[in-house]
Amino acid sequence: MSFFAVLFALLVEQLKPLSPRNLFHHALTGWVRWAGRNFDAGADVHARVVWIITVLAPAAVLAITYMVVNRYSTVLALALNVSVLYLTMGFRQFSHHFTDIRDALEEGREARARELLATWQHVDASDLPRTELLRHVLEYSLLAAHRHVFGVFFWFVALSTVGLGPAGAVLYRMAEFTNRYWSYKSHVTGTPTHDRLMNLSQKLFGWVDHVPARLTAFGFAVVGNFEDAVETWRRHAPLWARPNEGAILAAASGALGVRLGGQAAPSASEQQGDISRTLTQGEDADVTDAVGSTAGVAPQMAHLRSVVALIWRSVVLWMLLLALLSLANLIG
């Protein structure tokens, strides 16, 4: 069932993309904000309570719901899986940003491309050279593909295999969202009122994302230049402060033969604006900050097409493996 759930969810998402201003994302923001406002009093124990309420509780409720539904109807259980995956996983939640920037660059409108990057990631891209602009687009796109597709995919398959249905997809999405929400909240307010909650969310999401990040990196290596990807992963992943992002970007760099790493663009998100839209569309701007660069050629326009191909080949790879796993389970 897992294979068909992922397949149907990806097909529906391609035909009917989820709007960035949809009710689900607004409800998600409201839920995290409500939990922080009512249960966070600044102590370590309060931070843990908020994380349990916002991340573990929805996953547990969904797991129980799935087991009840699956007992009475396999079709309804499949529909529940597809519905949850549609809300939590998908390329179209970020790919329009990438497409618009690529089109602007192909048309020679670099100023427009910089504006689009600034809107997407809430960074100051006005002074970025063309090569740096391309590097940022590549890095943000790779991380977005992992967080919106591969990370959700791996956790969904892992918990679905033990009978918990789409609980894994919700667990990953909520852990990723709370990490992003409290980091963003702390930045725009300029006060450390939620520093314990922010630090705990970052730490726990790092744990949740540890295995998926390395599976994503391994997938990039398999479908790209394997030897160079593994070598770059081994040698250059420590350039990034966050090990999970370092593994993904270093492996992708070797797989594509492109130079990645360097200073992230300065943040331009001091104004809070529409927090729901910001959080559902943006990523942490500082995750691409590295103390150096990998080997490889400087980013070029051709690499934008290469990264799309790399991501889609990875999707095909993991879908084939999931299909084989599902077939083996049926035969067994």
Q: Quick: pLDDT tens for 149-196.
A: 999 999 999 999 999 999 999 999 999 999 988 876 655 444 445 678
**Which residues, including other chains, have CB under 8 Å from residue 230's CB and lie 6 or more apart?**
221, 251, 254
- Return the residue matching tokens 């100023």: 111
Q: What is the pLDDT of residue 137?
A: 93
Q: CA-to-CA distance for 186 and 194, rounded, in angstroms? A: 7
Range of the domain at 84: 2-331
Q: What is the pLDDT of residue 271?
A: 43
Q: Which two tokens stand for residue 80?
A: 């529940």
pTM of the model: 0.89
> Phi then psi for 95, rounded to 5 degrees?
-65, -25
Please report, for residues 2, 5, 91, 282, the alpha-carbon distance to residue 322 in angstroms, rounded to integers and kept in the order given.
8, 11, 19, 29
Amino acid at position 115, single letter: E
223 near 315, Cβ under 8 Å?
no
**Segments of the chain scoring below 50 in pLDDT:** 188-192, 269-282, 285
Three-point CA angle 142, 143, 146, nearest 5°: 90
- Return the residue matching tokens 């949809």: 22
> Phi then psi for 129, rounded to 5 degrees?
-65, 165
Q: CA-to-CA distance for 194 and 43, rounded, in angstroms? A: 9
185 near 284, Cβ under 8 Å?
no
Three-point CA angle 305, 311, 314, nearest 5°: 140
CB atoms within 10 A of CB 96: 15
Name beta bridge partners: 297.
Answer: 258
Structurally, the chain folds into a number of domains equal to 1
Q: What is the pLDDT of residue 185?
A: 61
Q: CA-to-CA distance for 114 and 136, rounded, in angstroms? A: 10
Name the burial class of residue 22, with classes exposed (0-12), middle (13-18) and buried (19+) by CB atoms within 10 angstroms of its CB. middle
Number of alpha carbons in the 13 Å side-chain half-sphere of residue 170: 27
62 near 159, Cβ under 8 Å?
no
Q: CA-to-CA distance for 136 and 288, rounded, in angstroms? A: 8
Rounded to 10 degrees, the C-alpha dihedral 292/219/313/162 comes to: -140
Q: Which two tokens stand for residue 271?
A: 């104004």
Q: What is the pLDDT of residue 283?
A: 53
182 near 201, Cβ under 8 Å?
yes
